[in-house]
């Protein structure tokens, strides 16, 4: 992986924006707006989070050319680009925030400002993958009972990740291996965003990304961990 972090083919194709899924520990652009993240469904405008962490929010909608950012460990950094109005948004979506509706809130905010679902392009960056994300079976059963959620994906046997550069997470509580990016993708599809406009980067922070990027890995090995920033901005 390059020092600058992985790239999204979808976002790279849009010449009017800049973005990065930065490796852990790299400083965010100095003019970036980001919230005090709380695993909520709260989405605000960039200027409401200047200076950064001015308010509690897990999604920030770009204004002018200001970069909007989120910081993540194992949660999903989700970057939105609207080709209709040249809008951008950065969203922090862990399991809790995803279940609280943060992706829907971000989509609603973009639609309210002139986007259409068919003009949204979404890249889901490095996050803990199904190769390393163990969840209790009871939690998955609870999620299955929610009629508003798309089909869930998980495996009772841990999937082998052939792209791992360090050992995958070891089972801790006889749970299941849950695919959080797949849930996020399903929610975006459910809202009508075309499948070809959703990209999951499939970089697992636990076993594939640079060291220091996984909160869970640090919990298991006490190896140290630093936030990774993901940001996006409109260029013109």
- Residues in contact with Zn ion by the rule CB under 5 A: 129, 131-132, 161, 204, 206-207
Q: Least distance (Å) from Zn ion to the CB of residue 161? A: 5
Task: Give the distance from CA 109 to its chain's centroid.
Answer: 17
Exposure string for 182-194, b = 16+ CB within 10 A, e = fewer: bbbbbbbeeeebe
In this complex, which beta carbon is closest to Zn ion, that of residue 59 or of residue 130? 130
Return the residue matching tokens 């809008």: 87
Beta strands in the chain (DSSP E): 17-21, 43-45, 59-61, 68-72, 76-82, 87-93, 120-124, 134-135, 154-155, 176-178, 198-200, 228-234
* Smallest gap from residue 160 Cβ to Zn ion (A): 10
Identity of the residue, 60 or 208, whose beta carbon is nearer to Zn ion in the bound complex: 208
Cβ-based nearer residue to Zn ion, 30 or 170 = 170
Kindly state the smallest distance separating residue 93's Cβ from Zn ion, in Å. Answer: 18
What span, in angstroms and rounded, lies between the C-alpha atoms of 221 and 203? 20
Q: Token pair for residue 182?
A: 């797949």
Least distance in angstroms from the C-beta of 20 to Zn ion: 22
Give the nearer residue to Zn ion in terms of CB position, either 131 or 184.
131
């Amino acid at each position: 992986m390059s020092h600058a972090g992985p790239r999204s083919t979808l976002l790279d194709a849009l010449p009017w924006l800049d973005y990065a899924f930065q490796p852990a520990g790299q400083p965010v652009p100095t003019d970036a707006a980001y919230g005090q993240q709380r695993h909520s469904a709260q989405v605000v405008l960039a200027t409401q989070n200047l200076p950064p962490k001015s308010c509690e929010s897990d999604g920030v909608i770009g204004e002018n050319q200001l970069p909007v950012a989120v910081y993540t460990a194992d949660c999903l950094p989700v970057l939105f680009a609207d080709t209709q109005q040249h809008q951008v948004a950065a969203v922090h979506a862990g399991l809790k925030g995803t279940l609280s509706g943060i992706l829907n809130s971000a989509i609603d905010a973009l639609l309210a400002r002139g986007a259409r679902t068919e003009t949204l392009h979404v890249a889901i960056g490095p996050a803990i993958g199904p190769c390393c994300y163990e969840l209790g079976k009871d939690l998955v059963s609870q999620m299955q009972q929610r009629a508003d959620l798309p089909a869930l994906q998980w495996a009772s046997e841990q999937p082998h990740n052939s792209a791992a550069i360090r050992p995958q997470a070891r089972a801790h509580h006889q749970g299941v291996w849950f695919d959080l990016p797949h849930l996020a993708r399903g929610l975006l599809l459910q809202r009508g965003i075309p499948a070809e406009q959703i990209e999951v980067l499939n970089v697992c922070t636990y076993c594939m990304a640079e060291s220091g990027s996984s909160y869970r890995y640090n919990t298991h090995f006490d190896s140290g961990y630093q936030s990774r920033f993901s940001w996006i901005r409109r260029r013109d």
